[in-house]
Amino acid sequence: MGFARLNRPWLHFLVLGLVFYAVQALLLPEPKTIVGPLNPMQVSGLRAQWQARTGQQPTPQQLQRLMNTQLDQAMLFQHALALNLHLQDSMVYQRLIRNMDFLERSQGQSETDRFDEAIALRLHLDDAVVKRRLIQLVEQQLLLDDPPPAPTSKAVSAMFKARKAALVQAPMYSFEHVFFGQGQGADATAAAARIRREGLQIERVRSLGAPFMQGYQFLNQTPEQLRRHFGQQFVTALVQAALDPDVLESSAAGQWVGPVMSIYGEHLVWLTTYVPARVPSLVEVEAALRRDLVYKAQKRQLACLITALRAGYDVQGWVSDSAAANDEASCL
């Protein structure tokens, strides 16, 4: 009785159809979405951008890497469209509505209707702001679906040791000054002699100097900041004075330095505090180091995820080189 039920022509056709469909899907998979190649105008634009940034023409290898990046962005844009991210983001929504208002189309319609018409007109495909936003969204989605592992305490400690020299905090100087312009060197020398003779402090000396446009008090300034204000000669003299043991001993109450030459003239400097250069502790910089490690891990993970995504697209014009091959191998 059971075999008789199976002996039905329609059932045979159904089974054969399912088998044919499975074989067709196996032997004739759905074609991949094509991305690229870049047209000559796009390639010329990449050359011009490189030259504007570097002042030189890109080498063939550099140009190919620029093209690869552009093609990857085009692929990510297509992937964002496939995920319908353009229909889900409020920034894209508002951008397309503004575009419709600029074109003065669909006057009197609701925002929803204007957005739907913008999509129907395919305005989202040619808007650079929308493209950048969708690429950003799809990158975030890739990392959300497959995030890199969080940095370990061991990795943070290793980065701290590797960066210790770069983490040194520059010395800082706090001071007030009395300014003497060009040609007033004799006045500056006489004022310095009077200061030392009478033991004057800054309050008694301010009236002896000339106006100074950048102000008279500078707090917690690094040598680089002071160099921008006063020039290297001023910084050199101040650094040497701050390293003098006598200055260091009395810097809490204030110590006169000078006359000191700057790019403007001469200065009598009332040095109030000097904080020597120091290496911060791991606790002080741990959060920043951890953020750097997270950023690097996400950047590396995103590169690997884009490599994997590329296998599902027909990206025409993307050419691997030795650096790209090494990156791809490290993702395995």
Domain with 198 in it: what CATH number?
A: 3.10.50
- The predicted-structure confidence for 18-40, as pLDDT tens digits, reads as follows 655 555 555 556 788 999 999 99
- The predicted-structure confidence for 49-101, as pLDDT tens digits, reads as follows 999 999 999 999 999 999 999 999 999 999 999 999 999 999 999 999 999 99
Maximum alpha-carbon separation in the chain = 126
Residue 298 belongs to a domain: no
Residue 185 belongs to a domain: yes
Lookup: tokens for 87: 């229909």
Domain containing 192: what range?
A: 172-275
pLDDT at residue 15, as a whole number: 58
Residue 223 belongs to a domain: yes
- Count the domains in the chain: 2
pLDDT at residue 200, as a whole number: 80
Question: Does residue 188 sit in helix, strand or coil?
Answer: helix
The answer to whether the beta carbons of residues 106 and 138 sit under 8 Å apart is no
Residue 98 belongs to a domain: no
CB neighbours of 180 closer than 8 A, spacing ≥ 6? 187, 188, 191, 209, 210, 259, 265, 266, 267, 268
Residue 270 belongs to a domain: yes
pLDDT band of 251, cuts 50, 70, 90: very low
- Cβ neighbour number for residue 330 with a 10 Å cutoff: 11
Residue 177 belongs to a domain: yes
pLDDT band of 213, cuts 50, 70, 90: confident
**Cα angle, residue 250 at apex, residues 246 and 198 outer, rounded to 5°:** 90
Residue 263 belongs to a domain: yes
Dihedral pair phi/psi, residue 315, rounded to 5°: -90, 105
For residue 190, the number of C-alpha atoms closer than 13 Å in the C-beta half-sphere is: 7
Residue 11 belongs to a domain: yes
pTM given for the model: 0.71
